[in-house]
Amino acid sequence: MVFAIAYEISQETYCEDFIKSLKISEKLRKTAYFYISNSHRSEIITLIKHVSESCELIRTTVHLAIYLYDIYCDYYNICNILDLSLIAISCIHIASKVEENDKNIPEISTLLEFANECWNREHIKEMEIYILKFFDWYVLVPTAANFIDYFVNMSYDFRDLPIGEFPEDENEIVFDFLDLILEDIRLVNISPSVMAAACLSATRKQIGYKDVWSPLLEELTGYKYSEIEEYVETLFILKSKINKMFKDDDQIKFVDLASSSLSKSNVTTVVVKTVNIIRPKRSLGNTDWGDNTDEKPHKKMCFK
Protein backbone atom coordinates (compact mmCIF):
# COMPACT_ATOMS: atom_id res chain seq x y z
CA MET A 1 0.00 0.00 0.00
CA VAL A 2 2.80 2.38 0.96
CA PHE A 3 4.63 1.66 -2.29
CA ALA A 4 1.43 2.25 -4.30
CA ILE A 5 0.91 5.64 -2.67
CA ALA A 6 4.55 6.56 -3.20
CA TYR A 7 4.26 5.55 -6.86
CA GLU A 8 1.16 7.71 -7.38
CA ILE A 9 2.88 10.69 -5.76
CA SER A 10 5.98 10.24 -7.91
CA GLN A 11 3.83 9.97 -11.05
CA GLU A 12 1.93 13.12 -10.15
CA THR A 13 5.17 15.00 -9.47
CA TYR A 14 6.62 13.80 -12.78
CA CYS A 15 3.56 15.02 -14.71
CA GLU A 16 3.70 18.41 -13.03
CA ASP A 17 7.39 18.77 -13.78
CA PHE A 18 6.86 17.60 -17.35
CA ILE A 19 4.19 20.19 -18.20
CA LYS A 20 6.18 22.92 -16.47
CA SER A 21 9.21 22.02 -18.55
CA LEU A 22 7.17 22.15 -21.77
CA LYS A 23 5.74 25.55 -20.90
CA ILE A 24 9.19 26.93 -20.15
CA SER A 25 10.51 25.58 -23.45
CA GLU A 26 7.65 27.05 -25.48
CA LYS A 27 8.73 30.53 -24.40
CA LEU A 28 11.98 29.96 -26.30
CA ARG A 29 10.18 29.70 -29.64
CA LYS A 30 11.10 32.34 -32.21
CA THR A 31 8.56 34.94 -33.28
CA ALA A 32 7.18 35.34 -36.80
CA TYR A 33 6.87 38.93 -38.06
CA PHE A 34 4.73 38.44 -41.19
CA TYR A 35 6.38 41.34 -43.02
CA ILE A 36 5.96 39.48 -46.30
CA SER A 37 3.37 36.87 -47.20
CA ASN A 38 4.73 33.33 -47.22
CA SER A 39 4.29 32.43 -50.88
CA HIS A 40 3.45 28.81 -51.75
CA ARG A 41 2.92 27.92 -48.08
CA SER A 42 -0.19 25.87 -48.75
CA GLU A 43 1.57 23.69 -51.32
CA ILE A 44 4.59 23.22 -49.06
CA ILE A 45 2.46 22.27 -46.04
CA THR A 46 0.78 19.65 -48.19
CA LEU A 47 4.21 18.42 -49.31
CA ILE A 48 5.42 18.13 -45.70
CA LYS A 49 2.32 16.16 -44.74
CA HIS A 50 2.65 13.91 -47.78
CA VAL A 51 6.33 13.13 -47.18
CA SER A 52 5.75 12.61 -43.44
CA GLU A 53 2.85 10.25 -44.07
CA SER A 54 4.86 8.30 -46.63
CA CYS A 55 7.72 7.96 -44.15
CA GLU A 56 5.28 7.10 -41.33
CA LEU A 57 6.42 9.99 -39.14
CA ILE A 58 4.50 10.97 -36.03
CA ARG A 59 2.41 14.13 -35.76
CA THR A 60 4.86 15.89 -33.45
CA THR A 61 7.48 15.61 -36.20
CA VAL A 62 5.07 17.15 -38.72
CA HIS A 63 4.23 20.07 -36.44
CA LEU A 64 7.87 20.76 -35.58
CA ALA A 65 8.89 20.61 -39.25
CA ILE A 66 6.17 23.11 -40.19
CA TYR A 67 7.15 25.41 -37.30
CA LEU A 68 10.80 25.38 -38.44
CA TYR A 69 9.73 26.02 -42.03
CA ASP A 70 7.36 28.88 -41.13
CA ILE A 71 9.85 30.73 -38.95
CA TYR A 72 12.78 30.30 -41.33
CA CYS A 73 10.80 31.39 -44.38
CA ASP A 74 9.24 34.27 -42.47
CA TYR A 75 12.74 35.72 -42.11
CA TYR A 76 13.90 35.18 -45.69
CA ASN A 77 12.18 36.22 -48.88
CA ILE A 78 12.57 32.95 -50.76
CA CYS A 79 12.63 32.95 -54.55
CA ASN A 80 10.97 29.87 -55.91
CA ILE A 81 9.07 26.70 -55.13
CA LEU A 82 12.08 24.40 -55.51
CA ASP A 83 14.03 26.40 -52.93
CA LEU A 84 11.06 26.28 -50.55
CA SER A 85 10.71 22.55 -51.12
CA LEU A 86 14.37 21.97 -50.27
CA ILE A 87 13.88 23.90 -47.02
CA ALA A 88 10.75 21.86 -46.23
CA ILE A 89 12.46 18.51 -46.80
CA SER A 90 15.41 19.65 -44.67
CA CYS A 91 13.02 20.73 -41.89
CA ILE A 92 11.41 17.30 -41.95
CA HIS A 93 14.80 15.66 -41.52
CA ILE A 94 15.75 17.95 -38.64
CA ALA A 95 12.38 17.49 -36.92
CA SER A 96 12.57 13.72 -37.26
CA LYS A 97 15.92 13.70 -35.44
CA VAL A 98 14.23 15.52 -32.55
CA GLU A 99 10.93 13.65 -32.32
CA GLU A 100 11.40 10.18 -33.78
CA ASN A 101 13.10 7.07 -32.48
CA ASP A 102 16.43 6.51 -34.21
CA LYS A 103 15.08 3.67 -36.34
CA ASN A 104 12.26 5.88 -37.65
CA ILE A 105 14.44 8.78 -38.79
CA PRO A 106 14.23 8.75 -42.61
CA GLU A 107 17.46 8.44 -44.52
CA ILE A 108 18.40 11.32 -46.79
CA SER A 109 18.28 8.87 -49.66
CA THR A 110 14.62 8.23 -48.81
CA LEU A 111 13.83 11.94 -48.76
CA LEU A 112 15.59 12.37 -52.10
CA GLU A 113 13.06 10.00 -53.63
CA PHE A 114 10.53 12.83 -53.36
CA ALA A 115 12.85 15.24 -55.20
CA ASN A 116 13.23 13.44 -58.52
CA GLU A 117 16.89 14.49 -58.82
CA CYS A 118 16.18 18.17 -58.13
CA TRP A 119 18.80 18.10 -55.38
CA ASN A 120 21.40 15.76 -53.98
CA ARG A 121 22.52 14.65 -50.53
CA GLU A 122 24.86 17.61 -50.10
CA HIS A 123 22.07 20.10 -50.83
CA ILE A 124 19.99 18.75 -47.95
CA LYS A 125 22.95 18.58 -45.57
CA GLU A 126 23.98 22.13 -46.40
CA MET A 127 20.43 23.42 -46.03
CA GLU A 128 20.11 21.72 -42.65
CA ILE A 129 23.20 23.56 -41.44
CA TYR A 130 21.77 26.93 -42.52
CA ILE A 131 18.50 26.20 -40.76
CA LEU A 132 20.20 25.01 -37.57
CA LYS A 133 22.45 28.07 -37.52
CA PHE A 134 19.41 30.29 -37.94
CA PHE A 135 17.85 28.71 -34.86
CA ASP A 136 21.17 28.85 -33.00
CA TRP A 137 21.10 25.04 -33.03
CA TYR A 138 18.16 25.06 -30.62
CA VAL A 139 15.23 23.24 -32.23
CA LEU A 140 14.06 21.28 -29.21
CA VAL A 141 10.91 23.36 -28.83
CA PRO A 142 7.43 22.00 -28.13
CA THR A 143 4.51 22.37 -30.50
CA ALA A 144 0.79 22.05 -29.93
CA ALA A 145 1.13 18.38 -30.89
CA ASN A 146 3.40 17.75 -27.89
CA PHE A 147 0.91 19.39 -25.54
CA ILE A 148 -2.16 17.72 -27.01
CA ASP A 149 -0.61 14.28 -26.58
CA TYR A 150 -0.12 15.07 -22.90
CA PHE A 151 -3.53 16.69 -22.42
CA VAL A 152 -5.44 13.92 -24.15
CA ASN A 153 -3.70 11.15 -22.24
CA MET A 154 -4.15 12.91 -18.92
CA SER A 155 -7.73 14.02 -19.59
CA TYR A 156 -8.83 10.41 -19.42
CA ASP A 157 -8.16 10.68 -15.70
CA PHE A 158 -10.17 13.89 -15.48
CA ARG A 159 -13.39 12.92 -17.26
CA ASP A 160 -16.49 14.70 -16.07
CA LEU A 161 -18.81 12.30 -17.89
CA PRO A 162 -20.13 8.99 -16.53
CA ILE A 163 -18.29 5.86 -17.65
CA GLY A 164 -19.67 4.61 -20.93
CA GLU A 165 -20.67 8.04 -22.23
CA PHE A 166 -17.21 9.06 -23.33
CA PRO A 167 -17.22 9.16 -27.16
CA GLU A 168 -14.81 6.73 -28.77
CA ASP A 169 -13.95 9.12 -31.62
CA GLU A 170 -12.77 11.94 -29.40
CA ASN A 171 -9.12 11.39 -30.29
CA GLU A 172 -9.87 11.60 -34.00
CA ILE A 173 -11.78 14.85 -33.53
CA VAL A 174 -9.16 16.48 -31.34
CA PHE A 175 -6.42 15.60 -33.83
CA ASP A 176 -8.53 17.05 -36.66
CA PHE A 177 -8.66 20.33 -34.76
CA LEU A 178 -4.93 20.05 -34.14
CA ASP A 179 -4.34 19.86 -37.90
CA LEU A 180 -6.39 23.02 -38.37
CA ILE A 181 -3.73 24.96 -36.48
CA LEU A 182 -1.32 24.32 -39.34
CA GLU A 183 -3.64 25.95 -41.88
CA ASP A 184 -3.29 29.50 -40.56
CA ILE A 185 0.26 30.83 -40.25
CA ARG A 186 -0.96 33.61 -37.95
CA LEU A 187 -1.35 31.01 -35.20
CA VAL A 188 2.39 30.28 -35.18
CA ASN A 189 2.95 32.98 -32.56
CA ILE A 190 0.25 31.68 -30.21
CA SER A 191 1.58 29.55 -27.37
CA PRO A 192 1.29 25.87 -28.33
CA SER A 193 -0.13 25.03 -24.91
CA VAL A 194 -2.93 27.54 -25.46
CA MET A 195 -3.77 26.11 -28.88
CA ALA A 196 -3.67 22.54 -27.54
CA ALA A 197 -6.09 23.50 -24.77
CA ALA A 198 -8.30 25.19 -27.37
CA CYS A 199 -8.32 21.98 -29.43
CA LEU A 200 -9.42 20.02 -26.37
CA SER A 201 -12.23 22.47 -25.63
CA ALA A 202 -13.33 22.65 -29.29
CA THR A 203 -13.56 18.86 -29.32
CA ARG A 204 -15.79 18.86 -26.26
CA LYS A 205 -17.93 21.55 -27.83
CA GLN A 206 -18.36 19.64 -31.08
CA ILE A 207 -19.16 16.37 -29.30
CA GLY A 208 -21.76 18.10 -27.17
CA TYR A 209 -20.37 18.10 -23.66
CA LYS A 210 -22.53 19.92 -21.16
CA ASP A 211 -19.51 22.02 -20.24
CA VAL A 212 -16.85 22.80 -22.85
CA TRP A 213 -14.38 23.36 -20.02
CA SER A 214 -14.14 22.22 -16.43
CA PRO A 215 -12.19 22.96 -13.25
CA LEU A 216 -10.31 19.69 -13.70
CA LEU A 217 -9.25 20.62 -17.24
CA GLU A 218 -8.31 24.08 -16.01
CA GLU A 219 -6.06 22.43 -13.46
CA LEU A 220 -4.61 20.08 -16.07
CA THR A 221 -3.83 22.73 -18.70
CA GLY A 222 -3.27 25.74 -16.46
CA TYR A 223 -5.75 27.86 -18.47
CA LYS A 224 -9.15 29.29 -17.70
CA TYR A 225 -11.72 29.09 -20.47
CA SER A 226 -11.60 32.87 -20.91
CA GLU A 227 -7.94 32.50 -21.91
CA ILE A 228 -8.66 30.04 -24.72
CA GLU A 229 -12.18 30.99 -25.81
CA GLU A 230 -10.97 33.22 -28.65
CA TYR A 231 -8.94 30.40 -30.14
CA VAL A 232 -11.75 27.88 -29.78
CA GLU A 233 -13.87 30.17 -31.96
CA THR A 234 -10.95 30.56 -34.38
CA LEU A 235 -10.79 26.79 -34.82
CA PHE A 236 -14.49 26.61 -35.65
CA ILE A 237 -14.13 29.46 -38.14
CA LEU A 238 -11.28 27.61 -39.86
CA LYS A 239 -13.30 24.40 -39.80
CA SER A 240 -16.26 26.18 -41.39
CA LYS A 241 -14.10 27.62 -44.17
CA ILE A 242 -12.62 24.22 -44.93
CA ASN A 243 -16.02 22.54 -44.99
CA LYS A 244 -17.20 25.18 -47.45
CA MET A 245 -14.19 24.52 -49.66
CA PHE A 246 -15.02 20.82 -49.82
CA LYS A 247 -18.69 21.56 -50.33
CA ASP A 248 -17.85 23.79 -53.28
CA ASP A 249 -15.56 21.02 -54.57
CA ASP A 250 -12.68 23.46 -54.93
CA GLN A 251 -9.45 22.06 -56.30
CA ILE A 252 -6.18 23.42 -54.95
CA LYS A 253 -2.71 23.01 -56.39
CA PHE A 254 -0.02 21.07 -54.63
CA VAL A 255 3.62 20.69 -55.60
CA ASP A 256 4.44 17.16 -56.66
CA LEU A 257 8.21 16.85 -56.49
CA ALA A 258 7.97 13.17 -57.32
CA SER A 259 6.34 13.92 -60.67
CA SER A 260 8.28 12.31 -63.50
CA SER A 261 8.08 15.52 -65.53
CA LEU A 262 9.62 17.69 -62.83
CA SER A 263 13.09 19.14 -63.37
CA LYS A 264 15.06 22.12 -62.16
CA SER A 265 13.80 24.21 -65.04
CA ASN A 266 10.31 22.77 -65.25
CA VAL A 267 8.24 22.81 -62.06
CA THR A 268 4.96 20.98 -62.47
CA THR A 269 1.96 20.78 -60.21
CA VAL A 270 -0.90 18.40 -59.85
CA VAL A 271 -4.41 19.31 -58.76
CA VAL A 272 -5.67 17.64 -55.62
CA LYS A 273 -8.31 18.33 -53.01
CA THR A 274 -6.77 19.85 -49.91
CA VAL A 275 -7.68 22.22 -47.10
CA ASN A 276 -5.00 24.73 -48.05
CA ILE A 277 -5.37 28.13 -49.66
CA ILE A 278 -3.13 29.27 -52.53
CA ARG A 279 -1.33 32.56 -51.96
CA PRO A 280 -0.09 34.92 -54.71
CA LYS A 281 3.32 34.33 -56.26
CA ARG A 282 6.09 36.92 -55.90
CA SER A 283 8.97 37.90 -58.13
CA LEU A 284 12.15 38.06 -56.08
CA GLY A 285 15.76 38.96 -56.61
CA ASN A 286 18.97 37.03 -56.05
CA THR A 287 21.35 37.04 -53.14
CA ASP A 288 22.99 34.41 -50.90
CA TRP A 289 21.98 31.34 -48.95
CA GLY A 290 21.13 33.29 -45.84
CA ASP A 291 23.83 32.22 -43.44
CA ASN A 292 24.04 35.60 -41.72
CA THR A 293 21.13 35.76 -39.29
CA ASP A 294 22.35 38.96 -37.64
CA GLU A 295 20.66 41.07 -40.27
CA LYS A 296 17.07 42.02 -39.54
CA PRO A 297 14.19 40.62 -41.62
CA HIS A 298 13.46 40.36 -44.44
CA LYS A 299 16.39 39.33 -46.55
CA LYS A 300 16.03 38.06 -50.08
CA MET A 301 17.71 34.85 -50.98
CA CYS A 302 17.94 32.61 -53.97
CA PHE A 303 19.67 29.26 -53.92
CA LYS A 304 22.23 28.57 -56.57
Let me know whether 107 and 176 are in one domain. Answer: no
Q: Is residue 9 part of a domain?
A: no
- Same domain for 86 and 114, yes or no, is yes
For residue range 117-139, list pLDDT tens digits in order: 778 889 999 999 999 999 999 99
CATH code: domain of residue 195: 1.10.472.10
More confident residue, 303 or 229: 229
Confidence of residue 89 (pLDDT cuts 50, 70, 90): very high
pLDDT of 170: 73
Give tens-digit pLDDT for 157-183: 445 544 444 455 677 888 999 999 998
Give the domain range for residue 99: 28-140+278-301
Question: Residue 77 and residue 30: Cα distance in Å, rounded?
Answer: 17
Is 70 exceeded by the pLDDT of residue 75? yes
The single-letter code of the amino acid at 170 is E
The pLDDT score that the predictor gives to residue 297 is 43
* 241 and 155 housed in the same domain: yes
Q: Give the C-alpha separation, 261 to 292, whole Å.
A: 35
What confidence tens digit (pLDDT) does each residue in 278-299 have? Answer: 222 332 233 333 444 434 444 4
Q: Can you give the pTM of this predicted structure?
A: 0.76
Higher pLDDT, 32 or 262: 32
196 lies in the same domain as 170: yes
Q: Which residue, among 83, 38, 117, has the nearest Cα to 286 in the 3D structure?
A: 83
Asked which of 247, 265, 288 is the last residue of a domain, the reply is 247
Domain assignment present for residue 154? The answer is yes
Residue 226, domain member (yes or no): yes
Domain count, the chain: 2
pLDDT digits (tens, 9 = 90+) for 216-231: 888 889 999 999 999 9
In a domain, 33, yes or no: yes
